[in-house]
Amino acid sequence: MSEHLTLLWLQSGGCGGCSMSLLDAEHPDLYCALELSGIDLLWHPSLSEASAEEFLDLLGRISRGEQRLDILCLEGSVMQGPDGTGRFHLLAGSGRPMRDWLRELAGLARHVIAIGSCAAFGGITAAGDNPGEACGLQYTGEQPGGLLGEDWQAAGGLPVINIAGCPTHPGWVLDCLAQLALGELDEDALDEYHRPRNYTDHLVHHGCPRNEYYEFKASAESPGEQGCMMEHMGCLGTQARADCNIRPWNGSGSCLKGGYACINCTAPAFETPNHPFQETPKLGGIPIGLPSDMPKAWFVALASLAKAATPERLRRNAVAEHIEVPPTGGRRRRP
């Protein structure tokens, strides 16, 4: 690697949660990972010591071509309101909408990355009536377009790379940056929503600690219970594209391990499911959201067989907050 890549990280309509998650990166941590990948962080709103004047001077030098920009990262949605003016979010000290800065800088960067579902698709900021006219860099919900347009490509030949999640796993971000630094990220490495396939080729269901309950359709009925949360509690882990339970946060945590249903936060428009997050909508008693790639008739048949074969241990433990019936079998202990 002949010279370091440069990275500029901006924030717009969001909560900063993706940056908080990124700071929890381990083995290596954020700063070591950037150093190992040969990436220089030009500026980050929470991590940089530069003053406002120094930051605006940096943007000016990038605009004039005096400072190379290899990677532009946006965290948070693009605020287009009110009435398409972008004045809901003016970049402090510049008097100019952040939206206009983003469009200009994206045209100068070699690669552009949307950090989190807000920057990718609009996310939480775009929920409901979307009074802020929030959108993603290249999508608004499931619809291509966003700020930059459906056919936009960065100078490096790729569309906006959408590292979707709410928040993103630090590994997803650092893996993507390392791939860019090595020149190993191309369009084949992105899925249909331009998300890196190194995490969206998996399902949240993979590695779920409740998989035994799922197999026998032994379902939880209330928060805190141990059973599968797909049937009654709104869990979308069998449809959600991510590897949360294969490489959990901080080495051990995930939503499901914490007792929360997966809400499919890597998907566009996850924030408006049209039903409470922790309820499973049903039609004729059958969950509407079935596992990926499974025909409804097969699911109904297999679920009926599984329920009939459910061991009493799982049936009882599924609706309990702690293990009530341990596994049995094998050699008995001597008295």
Residue corresponding to tokens 């970049």: 91
Tokens coding 247: 């490489």
**Contact between 248 and 171 (Cβ < 8 Å):** no
DSSP reduced 3-state for 321: coil
Please, are residues 92 and 52 in contact by the beta-carbon 8 Å criterion?
Answer: yes
What pLDDT does 10 receive? 98
Q: What is the pLDDT of residue 71?
A: 98
Q: What local confidence, expressed as pLDDT, does residue 295 receive?
A: 74
Q: Give the pLDDT of residue 2.
A: 54
Spell out the domains of the chain, with CATH numbers in brackets. Answer: 5-200 (3.40.50.700), 202-321 (4.10.480.10)
The H-assigned helical ranges of the chain are 17-22, 30-37, 52-63, 98-108, 117-121, 170-182, 197-200, 211-215, 296-308, 312-318
Q: Pick left, alpha or beta for residue 31 (phi over 0 → left; psi -120 to 50 → alpha; otherwise beta).
A: alpha
Phi and psi (nearest 5°) for 304? Answer: -65, -40
pLDDT of residue 1: 44
Spatial neighbors of 28 by CB under 8 A, at least 6 apart, are 36, 174
The torsion angle over the Cα atoms of residues 192, 193, 196 and 199, rounded to 10 degrees, is -90
Cα–Cα–Cα angle for 218, 324, 231, nearest 5°?
20
Q: What is the pTM of this model?
A: 0.91
Name the phi and psi angles at 118, rounded to 5: -65, -50
The CB density around residue 54, as the number of other CB atoms within 10 Å, is: 11
| CA 105/CA 24 separation, integer angstroms | 28
Question: Mean pLDDT for each consecutive 10-residue tract of the chain (335 residues)?
Answer: 86 96 93 96 95 97 98 98 97 96 98 98 96 97 97 98 97 97 96 97 95 92 94 94 93 91 97 92 78 72 81 88 83 56
Q: What is the pLDDT of residue 332?
A: 55
What does the block give as tokens for 256?
Answer: 């499901």
Q: Which of 247, 265, 4, 228 lies closest to 120, judged by CA? A: 265
CA atoms within a 13 Å half-sphere pointing along the CA-CB vector of 8: 23
